[in-house]
Structure 1
C-alpha cells in the first residue's frame, strides 16, 4: 500500500503542503529528529483528512521540489493526459512535462535531452516518428512564456514522477535537430531550451551519486575550431535568437593558447562536476592556476557576464579542492570602471595587445 505523506494528502485535497503540515504539528508536534519526512499510519491519515477543508475544484499547487508521487495522482488533481511527455492542466495554467530517458530512447529523445552545463535543460518535443511540428504540446511550450504559463518538470519512472520544479523557456526557445524516430528514420525534432525558475536540476541527473564522487578532470586543450559551432536552424516558425559562438571568440582563444604555449605555460581543459552536470571554463592554465573565461567583446554586458561565469568556475573548483585564480580573456582593454571591478574581485584580465597579450593583475 502507498505510504501517506503530506504530498499525497495535499494532492488529494488540492491544498499546499504547508496547510497539511500545520495540521500535523497541531496534532503530533514537530517531526521526530530521526525522521526526514512525515509518513502517516491509517489512523493518523484519517485524523488529518478530517481536519482539512472540503475538496474543491480550486486547487493550490500541492507539490514541493523533490516530491515523488504517482503520476495518476497528479492528473487526478490537475487534469491533463495520463500518458505522453507534454500535457496541459485543465484546472490551472500550468504545463506538465515528463522526462524519462530510458523510455524515450525508442523515439531518439535521449540523444539530446538532459542537463546542459549552463544550467538549462534540453527537452525534446512530442512526436515519435516523422518531423515534429509546432502543434499540441509543442505549441503550448513554444508560447508558454508569452502566455505567462509555468512549465512544471517531472523526472518520470513509471508509475511514479518526481517533481523537479518550475521552468520557463530560455533564449532561444528551441532548436531543430535531426534524430531517429521510432521507425529509425531520421526526422526533424524540436529541442526546447528550458531554464529553471524554482527547481533543483540535480534531480534530473541520471547518475547523481556517481557525479558526486567525481573529481575535477584535467585534460589536453585544443584550440576551438569553427566547425564546432552549433548553428541554429532558421525558420519562420522559430523565435529569434541563437546560440552561435562567434568566430572572433574562437580566434581569440586560439591566439591566447599559442601565446601561453610560447611562454611555457600551456593551456589545459578542466572539467568540474557540479549540480548533476559538468561545467568547463574555456581553458585552464595549470602552471598559473588560472581558470579562463573568454568573451568576444569588451562591451559592458560581455565583461559582466565573463566576471560572473569565471567566479562561478573558481568557486566550484575551490569547493573541489583545486586551487585556482580567475581570469577573463578579452580582445582589448575594458572600460576603466570594469577594470577596477575585476581587480576588486581578484580577477586577472588578459587583454589582446597587437600580436601579444597584456596581463592586468588585481
Structure 2
C-alpha cells in the first residue's frame, strides 16, 4: 500500500474553525512527490505545534492539480498564493489529537526522520509499519473503552473469539493479536491446532510458560509485530492476556509477562505441515497476579512425552556446571516419561498440564473424581536436600490450587532414588505427600 502524512500548521490554516463550521475538506496543498500521488492512496493528517498530533485519516481521490486560488481560502491566515493541491476525502476525524510523544518512543519510528522533519513541505512518505502504527493509534483513540472496561474477563471465563475481537479489536486469526482499542495483547495457545504449525507451548522446569512466537515458515524473527509486541510489552505499556484455545470458544487463563531475567530462548521446530526444522522463538512467560481457575475448568490434557535429550540453555556466569545441569535435566525427563508409561500400562489416564493448570510434571486419574498430581525430581548427593524441599513446596501449592477442581487430589513426589535421610518419608506423609522412587510404582499407581 502507499500511504502519506499531511501536516497542517494551525498558524497558517485554521483547521479548528474549519471543522467547527462543518466544512468538508476536499483538497490539500502538496509540494513534493506529485508524480507519485495517486487516487486511492491513504493518508493521515497531522496537526503541528505543541498541542498537535494525529488528528485525521482518509484517502486521496485523484491526481494533483495546480490552482491560482487557495482552496478553502476563508481559513488561511494569509493568502497562500498559487500552488499545487491533491484532492482527498477525510474518512475520520479525532476529537483531540493523539500526541507526538506516543509515537516518538515507538521503534517503528526510531530509525526514520518522519517525525523529525515535519517542518518540510507536504507530503511525507510513510512506511507500511508506520501506517500500521498510526492506524492502531487512531483505532484506539476513536473507539477507546472507558478505563474501568479496559479488561472485563476473569481467569477461567469463556468467550467466543469473535466476541472477544468485537470488543477489543485485533486480528481475528493467528496466535498473537494486539488489541487496537486497549493496551492489551491477546495470546492464544492451542495444542490441537498449534502442533501442526510447530507451536509446542508448555510449562517449563522453572515454572514459566514457554510460548512459541509468530511465524509458521522459516526462522522466526522480531520483524513480526506480534513477536515485538510480546518482547517489548513492558516498555510499550502492554499487558499480555493468555487464552486457551484458538477458535470458537476460548478460555481466559490470566495476565502474563515476559520473565525479565530470561525473556526468551530459541529452539528448533518443524514448519507448518511437518516441514523442515527451523528456529523458533520461545517466550518465557510468568503469571501476573491471580490465574486461579474456577471449579468448572477441567484439569489436564493428554500426556505429552518430554524430550529426554533436550539441551539446557547456555549457562550464565556463576551458575552450576553445564554438564551437570544437562545430566539433571535429562534424568528428570527420563524419570517422568518412564512413570507416565507405567501409569498408562495400568490403565490410568495420564495427563500433562494445560495452560490453565499449575505447572505439575504429570498427573493421572483412576476415575473422574480422583486425581493424582506428581512432581518429579532428579537427585544427586550435592542437591538432594534442595530438590526434596523444592518438590514438597511445589506439591503443596499444586494440591491447594487443584483441590477445588477435583473431588479428591493426591500428591506424589517421585525421585531418582531412595533419599539418604529416611526422615523425608515421614515428613512427606505428615503433609499428605507420597514419596516414592523407581521400583515402588505399585505404591503410587495401585
- Output the TM-score relative to the length of structure 1: 0.48
**Relative contact order, CA 8 A, sep 6+: which one is greater?**
1
> Which is helix-richer, 1 or 2?
1
